[in-house]
Structure 1
Amino acid sequence: MFVSFILAKVQAYFRYRETVRELSLLSNRELDDLGISRSQIDIIARQTAAA
């Protein structure tokens, strides 16, 4: 049980970091095309990791 909980948290962290990395590589123009501002990257990454 506890190991599954920790594993899920680690996986969520990796999803968060991957999302931040991918979105950070986009230009401001590309982010704007997606309707995302650079300041929203952290929020979106947290939402993605929680899903």
Structure 2
Amino acid sequence: MYLTYVLSKIRAHQRYRRTLRAFTQLNDHLLEDVGITRNEIEVVARRQYDQ
């Protein structure tokens, strides 16, 4: 059980880092097309961590 929990947290953190990296590489125009601002990147990436 504990190992499953730890592995799920590791995978969640990996999703968070991937999302954060992907959005930070976009320019402001592309972010606007997606519907977020540069200030919202952390919030959107954090949602990936919580899932």
* TM-score interval for Structure 1 and Structure 2 normalised by the shorter chain: over 0.9
Q: What is the RMSD computed on CA atoms of the aligned residues?
A: 0.7
Normalised by the size of structure 2, how large is the TM-score?
A: 0.92
Structure 2: give runs of 5+ residues left out of the alignment. none
Extract structure 1 runs of 4+ deviating beyond 6 A. Answer: none
Structure 1: give runs of 5+ residues left out of the alignment. none
Q: Distance in 2 between matches of 1:17 and 1:44?
A: 11
- Match in the other structure for 2:9: 9
Q: Which amino acid aligns with 1:42?
A: E
